[in-house]
Amino acid sequence: MTAKVKILKERCKGCGLCVLACPKQNLSLGKKFNASGYAYAKAGDDCIGCGFCAELCPDIAIRVFKAEKQAASAKK
């Protein structure tokens, strides 16, 4: 795992755009519902930190955390 993704479940509306965007099939729609009644997305452990899901999410419900080393080398 080179990165980690966190779904802010109370912001998620279960649209599934992030699921379609992920090149690693690391995201899926779960079977649990948030307080608004939406089945929110959940993440696995196979994230590469590309950020496609976070860019696409219309509800800004995804945070991507990259590993320290990777973030440092990306700046060079």
Question: CB count, 10 Å around CB of 22?
Answer: 22
Give the nearest distance from C-beta 32 to ligand SF4 in angstroms.
13
Q: Is 24 in the site for ligand SF4 (CB under 6 A)?
A: yes
Site map 27..56 versus ligand SF4, x via CB under 6 A: x------------xx-x---xxxxxxx--x
Residue in 17, 28, 30, 42 binding ligand SF4, rule: CB under 6 A: 17
